[in-house]
Each structure stands twice: as C-alpha cells, then as structure tokens.
Structure 1
Amino acid sequence: MLLLDLETIPPEARVEAFQHAMNDTSVPNDVVHESPEAGVRARFEAWRVGALDLFDTRSTGFEVRRTDRHVRWHRERPVVSISLQTQGVHRAENGGERYLLGPDDISVFHELAPRRYGWSGEGASRAVTIDTEHLGVPVDTVVRASIRLRASPLHDVVLGHLRALWQDPARLESDPGAAAVGNATTELLRALLTSAAHGEDDKRSRSAMDDSLVPRIAAYVRRHLTDPDLSPDRIAKEHAVSRRYMYAALSSAGISLEQWVIGERLEAACRLLASPRHAGLPVSAVAARCGFASPSHFTRRFRAAYGVTPREWRRHRCQEAAGLGAGVREGAPSSGPAADRRSTPTPSP
C-alpha cells in the first residue's frame, strides 16, 4: 500500500508532508532534511504480514532524531523496528554509540529509547516493525543488542531471512501462511537480540536458540533449496544439533522435513514454469534449478502433488495467461502452486 509519494505534493508542502507521514507511521520525532532548499523527495510503502508491519522508505537525505522528550510521547503499544539499508550509507546513534550501516547490516531500534538515524543523498531502507509486547524483549536488551548484532551467530541467518521477506511482500501479505511467517520472524529476531545482548553461553541465549531452531532450519533450507546435496545430516550439522534432535524438534512442530523440502521445491518449480521470462527454460533445467536430482524424479513428484506433468501445467498456465479460457484437469493447481498441493504442514520460514 502506498502511504506517501511526495511527487504528488507541491514542493513547498513536502517537508511538512514528510514530517506528518514519518510521525504518523512511527512516533513523534524531529526530522532534519539534508537539503530542503534543493527539494525533498520521498516514497513510503507498507504491507502487513501476520503481526508484522513492513515499510519501504526511499528519500533524499534526512535524519530522524528521537529524544527522551519524544520517548515520553510513545504510543500505547510501542514497537521495535528492524531494518535493512538497501541504498546509501546510513548513520545511526543508539545506546550512546555512533556507527555506520551498509547493505550487509541489520539495524534495530526500540521505540522507547532515544536514537538518531538517517542518510545523505539518495537512500532507502526496508523496515519490519514488531509490537514490543509480542516480541517480549526488554528495552535495555534491545538497545544492548543493537550495537553488537554481529556478535551473534544468528546475524547472517536473520539477514538472509529479512531479505527473503522483501522479495515479494505483497504476495506474502495475502498468503494463507502470513501469520506463520510473522510468528517465525518474531522468534528469529527474539533469538538474535537475546544472543547478541547476552552472549552464546548465557542460559537466556540458549533458551532463545532452542525456541528458534525450527524457524532457523526452515530459513536455512529456503536459502539452500536449489542445492541437490542438501541433506538432513548437513542441515543438522549447520545448526550444531544431532540429526535425532533435529527430527524431534521438527516432529513436535508437525513437520516432516523431507516432504516439506519437496513441497518447497515444487512451489519454486511452479513459479519458474509459470514465469513468462522462463518460458524457454526446458523442464529438465527447471528441475535442476529447483534442486531435483533428475528430471524423472521431478516429474514423478510433480504429478503426485498436482495430478499433471510439469509440461501440462506450464501449457495450461500459458493458455490461461493468453486468455484462451482453457481449464486445467482436475487435481491441477489452478490459481497458484499452493492452492491444491497435497503435502505435509508447512513450517514457518
């Protein structure tokens, strides 16, 4: 959903509109623009994925300053924001420390703590906000963690997960699994903050790591989905647990690892088969790209899940896209790969 596009607003009213939008989607702040006389440009978009709010911000240079005075004006249900820097070098001050943020960093701010944040020139960020009550992490823990996130072994796991969230937020927003995605993201972030704030050996960190094991495994699998050598032993080793312990954790969440991996690969294949950009890609290449060991194995799994072969499904989708009104055979997914898939319950990412 588009929240603001300053190109539609007269230049003389843009600073005020920016300030209003920033404070309306967050909390009261002082906003200082880098070069207001040269013109302020900004575009804000938002999506809702389960209990998460996602905000995409693109603008000319500015800095948001939140003081103790602003903190006292916080809303009834304050939030924690977690953002990625997608354009420009970002400056931050939090917990008494100043630092720079680039494309491989995660920035975290608690609404109930003073801070500064912004960038020079053209910049952009993608932020996820979570209700502090839902996150369940104290203010001092969030602030302490925010300046030492890379001390946690979960940093790169969460970074990859956040990037995946932003691949298609509009699709996630309407997906039946949106609530599960939101809950899994919250668990991963809780584990990251606890681990970064207290260290790996602290019992609170160990508990958070245990609680986030299933979401971490799912995130790891999705990042390596196209690797045909992805195996249970490798997944367990990457997460420093035994294969038996991993299977027990997944089973308690109602997940069959092998069936879930196959289901995820089939969905990825459906997206490739339906993509006009990949219309010339042979079915064998689709199978390889999605991690299937052989085209025959891929075809057998596809038919078992959807009732048609990959070629038949691609042909039906092409006909639908061309407006020919050709229906699909009973059992084939007509509105998307997840529509009629017969598989085990899908885990959180």
Structure 2
Amino acid sequence: MAVLLDTATLPLRDRRDALITTMREASGTSRVELADDEPVRARVDLWPFGTASILRADSNGFANIGTTRSARSASGEHIAIGVHEMGVARYQVGAATRKVQAGEVLVVDVSRPFLFGWRGRGAALSLNTSAENLALPADLVTRAGSRLRSSPLYGLFSRHIMDITRNADLLSPGPAAGMLGAASIELARALIATAVDDVAGARDVVEQTLIVQIRAYVRQHLRDPDLGPGSIAAALAISPRHLHRVCTNANLSLEQWIITCRLDQAKAELVHPGSRHRSIGTISRRWGFKDQTHFTRRFRLAFGMLPSEWRRSAGF
C-alpha cells in the first residue's frame, strides 16, 4: 500500500495545497477545488493489484474538474471505474447533473468536461487500469457510462470493489494480488459489456453474466475449504444443474479449476518471504486443502515435485 496523502501528518497551512496536488496527480484532472472552508482533513491510499490498482480518497469537500482543454487532450489510455463509498457526491457533464449515492458505480468520461465531488466528509473508491487491459472500444465504454445500472453485474461489481478495499492492506502484498486485479478487470469488462446490448459477438447476457460471477466468486473464496459447486450455486441463487450447464458451455471444469487456482496460490505462497515462517501444512490449509496428503499428491501431479522440494529450490 502507498499512502499518497495523510493530512494528519502535515501542518494546517500545508494541507490545502497537498490535497489539491495529490488529487490532481492521482485522478489526472486539470483542476481541483476545495468546497469547504474548514481545516482540510484527508487521506488518499493506493493499493496495487497486478495490472490494476485501487485508489481510495476520504476527505472533506472537494471537486475534481475536467476542463474543455483537458478533455481535448485526453488520451483515453487510463480507465477509472469509481464506486462511491460515503456521503453524497455530485457528477456533472454538460448541463446534466446527478447525485451519486454510496454504493453507486460511475465511469467518468474524461473526453468531455465534467465535475465530480462532494461537500462535507465523503469517500470514493476507484478501480484503475489501462484501456489496453480493459480491452473494450472507447466508444463502448462511453456509451455504457449512463447505462451501468442496467447491467445485472452492477451490484456485484460495487460489492466486489468495496470488499477488496476493506481487506486491501492484507490482499495487496499477498500472492493473490495479481489474480484479484485480473478478476476485477474481468468483472469491470463484463459490467460495461452487459450494460450495452449491442456488443458485437457477445454471448447471451445471462450466461455471460453468470460465468463472470462464478469466476469472481471463486477467486474471492479460494481459501474456503467448503468452496464447491453447491456453495457457489447457493451464493449465486441458481441451481447446481444450471451452474453445471453454464460452466460446460464456457468449457470450464469448475472443480478442477478451483484446485488449479488453489495450487497456483499455494505454490506462490510457499516461496513468498512473508510466509517463510509458515509450515507446508498451514499454507495448504490457508488455500482450502483440508488434507495435507491430498495437497502434496496434487502438487506433485501439477508441478512434478513435492512442496518441500519446491521450497528448497527457492532457498527456503
């Protein structure tokens, strides 16, 4: 985690300029205005997750403003999908203004002048990645911006980003960080695609939604030893038979994929410096394997060596 700003560590006279500078650099907007006259209180954190990152800003009132000039120079190389966390924000594009409540998802269109901010204390999160990683046409992202609520993934995406942020100090340094970033980008891609009903070559919306939900749920619950088709179907409110059909249509062998993901994460943790003190049995249990003998056998089948041999090869 990188703490980009914590005004509690700064003299009062330096806080306004520090918040303005930090938010301009973090958001890429051309202007930042503070909305309140009271002493500035703010904290801005950034957590890396492989090819994605999560930014959290918690402050008293301010506004990010994208001007006409910045809109003309916007490259579209950076994508930020926000989830409002606390308070009520205002988002304005042209003459259209709307309130943004806690839990709402927002794609800011930087190709047009805009204003986003709040009065009083507020907080917002954003998933940040590159347009290349998102792999969707810029015009499709723009069109989806006003239609995100129509996506069946809207609530799932909001909860997913909030859940990761709540545990970001533990997750970001860990071996699963890259996988969580990839899952978040995949979920963002599906959110946008399912909000626009004319995506060329898109699968049936329901099945496309479900397979993304399945993958995201599995990645978030790999450590649960009881993770399996039954618990996944129950969590997504579908029948086990429906779950099996969706996975079959997507060429996904669910139980084998769960084992593969767990093995990959356990393998990475076995040689992670932060887990040097943990035994092989402890690490196997941390990734959902109930029996160390079963874990050892599956590890050897997958990687051609025992977990202990893998550790020794890394100098542990």
TM-score bracket for the superposition, by shorter chain length: 0.7 to 0.9
Percent identity between matched residues is 26
Corresponding residue of 1:11: 12
1:332 to 246, 267, 281: 281
Corresponding residue of 2:272: none
Seen in structure 2, the aligned counterparts of structure 1 residues 13 and 259 have a Cα distance that, compared at 3 Å, is closer
The 3-state SS of whatever aligns with 2:143 is helix
2: CA distance between counterparts of 1:238 and 1:64?
45
2: CA distance between counterparts of 1:71 and 1:184?
30
Is the contact made by 1:333 and 1:339 (CA closer than 8 Å) also made in structure 2?
Answer: no
Is the contact made by 2:36 and 2:119 (CA closer than 8 Å) also made in structure 1?
Answer: no
Corresponding residue of 2:313: none
1:67 partnered with 2:64: no
The 3-state SS of whatever aligns with 2:170 is helix
1:216 to 190, 213, 218: 213
1: CA distance between counterparts of 2:146 and 2:95?
9
Seen in structure 2, the aligned counterparts of structure 1 residues 250 and 119 have a Cα distance that, compared at 3 Å, is farther
Corresponding residue of 2:177: 178
2: CA distance between counterparts of 1:83 and 1:115?
14
What is the one-letter code of the residue matched to 1:206? R
Seen in structure 2, the aligned counterparts of structure 1 residues 140 and 332 have a Cα distance that, compared at 3 Å, is same
The 3-state SS of whatever aligns with 1:145 is helix
Mapping of 1:307-346 within 5 angstroms?
A: 331-333=280-282, 337-338=286-287, 342=295
Deviation at 1:211, TM superposition (A): 6.2
What is the one-letter code of the residue matched to 1:138? P
1:107 partnered with 2:103: no
What is the one-letter code of the residue matched to 1:332? G
Is the contact made by 1:78 and 1:112 (CA closer than 8 Å) also made in structure 2?
Answer: no
Is the contact made by 2:54 and 2:126 (CA closer than 8 Å) also made in structure 1?
Answer: yes
Mapping of 1:88-107 within 5 angstroms?
A: 88-94=87-93, 97-107=96-106
Corresponding residue of 2:84: 85
Q: TM-score, normalised by structure 2?
A: 0.72
Deviation at 1:60, TM superposition (A): 0.7
- Residues 16-25 or 110-119, more deviating: 110-119
Deviation at 1:44, TM superposition (A): 0.7
What is the one-letter code of the residue matched to 1:136? A
The 3-state SS of whatever aligns with 1:333 is helix
Corresponding residue of 1:249: 250
Deviation at 1:334, TM superposition (A): 5.8
> Residue by residue, what CA displacement relative to the aligned partner does 1:23-48 show, whole Å, maximum 9, x if unpaired?
22221421121123x22221111110
1: CA distance between counterparts of 2:79 and 2:160?
17
1:48 partnered with 2:45: no
> What is the aligned-residue RMSD (CA, Å)?
3.9
Deviation at 1:170, TM superposition (A): 2.2
Seen in structure 2, the aligned counterparts of structure 1 residues 68 and 202 have a Cα distance that, compared at 3 Å, is same
Seen in structure 2, the aligned counterparts of structure 1 residues 47 and 212 have a Cα distance that, compared at 3 Å, is same
Is the contact made by 2:187 and 2:216 (CA closer than 8 Å) also made in structure 1?
Answer: no
Seen in structure 2, the aligned counterparts of structure 1 residues 211 and 44 have a Cα distance that, compared at 3 Å, is same
Mapping of 1:252-271 within 5 angstroms?
A: 256=256
Mapping of 1:107-186 within 5 angstroms?
A: 107-186=106-185
Deviation at 1:145, TM superposition (A): 1.6
Corresponding residue of 1:279: none
- Residues 1-10 or 332-341, more deviating: 332-341
Mapping of 1:295-310 within 5 angstroms?
A: none
Mapping of 1:231-250 within 5 angstroms?
A: 237=238, 243-247=244-248, 249=250
The 3-state SS of whatever aligns with 1:130 is strand
Is the contact made by 1:14 and 1:40 (CA closer than 8 Å) also made in structure 2?
Answer: yes
Deviation at 1:120, TM superposition (A): 0.9
> Residue by residue, what CA displacement relative to the aligned partner does 1:278-328 show, whole Å, maximum 9, x if unpaired?
xxxxxxxxxxxxxxxxxxxxxxxxxxxxxxxxxxxxxxxxxxxxxxxxx98
